[in-house]
Amino acid sequence: MQMVATPRHTRASVRLLDLADPLAPMRNQFFLPRGVIYLDGNSLGALPKATRGRLDEVIQQEWGDGLIRSWNESGWIEAPQRVGDKIARLIGARPGEVIVADSTSVNLFKTLSAALALRPDRRVILSTPDNFPTDLYMAQGLIRQLGVGHELRLVASDELAESLTDEVAALMVTHVNYQSGLILDMPGLTRKAHEQGALALWDLAHSAGALPVDLDAADVDLAVGCGYKYLNGGPGAPAFLYVARRHQASFSQPLSGWMGHAQPFAFVPDYAPAEGIARYLCGTPAMLSLAALECGVDLLLEADMARIREKSLALTELFIELVESRLRRFGLELVTPRDTTMRGSQVSFRHPEGYAIMQALIHDGVIGDFRAPDTMRFGFTPLYLRYVDVWDAVTRLRRILVEKTWDQPAFKRRQKVT
């Protein structure tokens, strides 16, 4: 079904929205390449200007001059907790409930291990087939390794609630779907999970820094999230994880490396987990990447999450409206929910030639991405995106579709990452 919107905008009217935007000054805190409209901050966030100088300081002063002393003197050793506590403020967690460590995948392994250990008499992990694949892959790896017959049960998003039975050990879902941008009902599904005696493990990869999240209010048990998307932490930035305080002492996670030990520098041969969230650390943190993440998080803390959400919805709403009014005849099928309460900070359209169209668009300086088999994905990051960028992106997309410039071999040849 295609809604036909009245074309009530012009480029000039859109520019007025930027003039009234309270977040507009934040854009100046980012480095953005000239001529590019970046609609892929949901895949890799843009570079905060502060990061470059901070990394130079970490490299030259802290590593170069301070050398090993910087673990104490520059606060490296506390960085996973310090940055975790900052992220906690973005996702409605309390101090001591979030820590930065490893990758999202590795953190999923830790937290899912916790969930299964806390429900030893249950065997079902409930998720959706369109969950981000690495979450499913990690669950499959864990199930294989545990070897006691756990089942990864996949049901459509709208069947999750009814599928939460007393067989389920853990609900393991992503808050905002990476393909469609659909938001799952965190408070409702968590409540339903708890009613059935299951734990709720949420992946915040497309939520943290993109929209308000309140883990505490929703009574969430466990969560993981990504540092390199809306937190603008840089390519492959360390990830984070959340364990509600009530569960922290109940389980010692299997990736029990020295950084999660009660006394890492006592060098005793037996593992004893640290108190609190620190037991979810494993090896030595990648400090350069972690320092970059902290810059991104600091910037986000300067803005108000309610304002970010407001602008995010205005941007996605504008994009949908402009595509549907200005590109009506090109067969783009909206994948993202029209209901704004169910929409993350991205808009996806399906098209049989989506891959080639996206390559042509990237070639033209509008960077979105493509998710197999046919989804063109556009991320809208309120901190550095203008309303006029949305207008201009649609204009460039229109030209590509009108002139069919996407229809050439160079744009159809698949690359490893898009």
For 143, residues 6+ apart whose C-beta sits below 8 A from its C-beta are 125, 150, 151, 152
Alpha-carbon torsion angle 94, 100, 102, 108, nearest 10: 10
Q: Which of 96, 197, 257, 365 binds a copy of itself (CB under 8 A)?
A: 257
Length of the chain: 418
x-or-dash string of contact with a copy of itself, 108-127, rule CB under 8 A: -x---x--------------
Report if residue 349 touches a copy of itself, rule: CB under 8 A. no
What gap in Å lies between CA 185 and CA 155, rounded to an integer?
15
Bridging pattern class, strands 151-154 and 369-371: unpaired
What gap in Å lies between CA 113 and CA 318, rounded to an integer?
42
Q: Which of 26, 93, 244, 282 binds a copy of itself (CB under 8 A)?
A: 282
DSSP letters spanning 370-385: EETTTEEEEE--TTT-
What gap in Å lies between CA 285 and CA 278, rounded to an integer?
12
Nearer to a copy of itself, 8 or 416 (CB): 416
Query: Which candidate in 30, 38, 109, 132 is catalytic?
Result: 132
| Span of 11-19, 212-220, 235-243, 319-327 interacting with a copy of itself by CB under 8 A | 235-243
Q: Which of 81, 163, 207, 253 binds a copy of itself (CB under 8 A)?
A: 253
Size of the site for a copy of itself (CB under 8 A): 94
- SS3 label, residue 348: strand
Stretch 46-75 residues interacting with a copy of itself (CB under 8 A): 46-47, 51-52, 55-56, 59-60, 62-65, 67-72
Q: Which of 115, 136, 169, 313 binds a copy of itself (CB under 8 A)?
A: 136
Report if residue 145 touches a copy of itself, rule: CB under 8 A. yes
Query: Which candidate in 110, 192, 229, 371 is catalytic?
Result: 229
* Closest approach of a copy of itself to the CB of residue 338, in Å: 24
Active site residue 328: no
* Closest approach of a copy of itself to the CB of residue 2, in Å: 25
- The answer to whether the beta carbons of residues 316 and 32 sit under 8 Å apart is no
Query: Which candidate in 109, 228, 349, 387 is catalytic?
Result: 228
Residues of 50-78 as b/e, b for ≥16 C-beta within 10 angstroms? bbeebbeebeeebbeebeeebbeebebbe
Stretch 14-43 residues interacting with a copy of itself (CB under 8 A): 31, 33, 36, 38, 40, 43
- SS3 label, residue 321: helix
Query: Which candidate in 377, 384, 387, 411 is catalytic?
Result: 377
Report if residue 105 touches a copy of itself, rule: CB under 8 A. yes
Nearer to a copy of itself, 46 or 305 (CB): 46
Q: Where are the alpha helices (DSSP H) in 225-286?
A: 245-248
Spatial strand order in the sheet of 375-379: 333-334, 346-350, 375-379, 369-371
What's the angle, vertex CA 252, arms to CA 249 and CA 254, rounded to 5? 160
What gap in Å lies between CA 335 and CA 181, rounded to an integer?
8
- The answer to whether the beta carbons of residues 209 and 188 sit under 8 Å apart is no
Q: Which of 95, 129, 188, 352 binds a copy of itself (CB under 8 A)?
A: 129
Report if residue 174 touches a copy of itself, rule: CB under 8 A. no
Query: Which candidate in 102, 203, 364, 389 is catalytic?
Result: 203
Active site residue 203: yes
x-or-dash string of contact with a copy of itself, 203-232, rule CB under 8 A: -------------------------x----
Report if residue 154 touches a copy of itself, rule: CB under 8 A. yes
Q: Which of 223, 287, 394, 401 binds a copy of itself (CB under 8 A)?
A: 287
Nearer to a copy of itself, 2 or 145 (CB): 145
Active site residue 31: no
Catalytic residue annotation: 132, 203, 228-229, 377
